[in-house]
Structure 1
């Protein structure tokens, strides 16, 4: 018997996305998920996602005495792509060490918004994030990606906090 394009008894794979940046806490969250959600991740579509923040070109303009060079801006953007690719490669290698197959994705923009947009676009079953352990005052003035995602993502969100 077929049900929505699959056989009865055949379960649709869950989609899990782990948001990664260069911080220790995001890699801790990935390692925690790999160790504690292993069976679930083994049978899921796993996406490793990193956001490339929009570069502040104001300093480039000031540094070059009022002349922004398209080549310089392209160089900054290329460097951001290289950093994002290196972060994703490190995360993917970590997944491979745990026998988890993962896809990678990146998007340019404000991290908290791009993470939520990706979560919605991919129809995730779970979003995993690390916590930077900011205090209430820092969260108020600097914002918190995990706090934003908990309140705005269109899927369940697991925030992994490293206990000192």
Structure 2
């Protein structure tokens, strides 16, 4: 029986720091046969369909690259991956022979990223750090700090 590769999660909000985390994961963690699972957390709760209400607790189904690179399909999820992220994922999938998937959650990123670790389940998680100063971190809270201290798998924070 063939052994399944690692399930490497990368938290993405399509910002520069999440793209940096994605590049790091591709360059340092992914090998042939692994699964790259992009995890994005949306804060909106304005659901138009019953599906979205069901997905509030479990997140979306795992969305294959061919679907999450299709803008028409992504309208359903109200998520818009940017071209640079899509290109990084496409190149990694071809060059490293990995499977790329997207999972969308709705709610608090700190909680949902930790839930993703257990629900998918992930072998490890890579997350970017926005580099908030000490005062902003106290006021806003640090997603990466919370995830590092709460997640049940190894977490790498890319600065």
Number of aligned pairs?
Answer: 131
Equivalent position to 2:77, from 63, 76, 81: 81
Counterpart in 1 of 2:135? Answer: 137
Distance 1:96 1:20 in 2: 15
The verdict on how the C-alpha distance between 1:139 and 1:79 changes in structure 2, with shifts beyond 3 A counting, is: farther
What are the Cα deviations for residues 125-161 of structure 1, in whole angstroms up to 9, with x where unaligned?
A: 1001001011222111111110010011111101111
* TM-score (ref. length: structure 1): 0.69
Counterpart in 1 of 2:27? Answer: 35
* Structure of larger gyration radius: 1
Give the superposed CA RMSD. 2.6
Equivalent position to 2:152, from 144, 151, 154: 154
List gaps (5 residues or longer) in structure 2: 53-73
Matches within 5 A, 1:1-164: 7=1, 10-39=2-31, 42-54=32-44, 81-82=77-78, 84=79, 86-87=80-81, 91-98=85-92, 99=94, 100-161=98-159
* TM-score (ref. length: structure 2): 0.71
Equivalent pair of 1:52/1:80 in contact (CA under 8 Å) = no
The verdict on how the C-alpha distance between 1:88 and 1:50 changes in structure 2, with shifts beyond 3 A counting, is: farther
List gaps (5 residues or longer) in structure 1: 1-6, 56-72
What are the Cα deviations for residues 9-45 of structure 1, in whole angstroms up to 9, with x where unaligned?
A: x534221110100321001110122122243xx3312
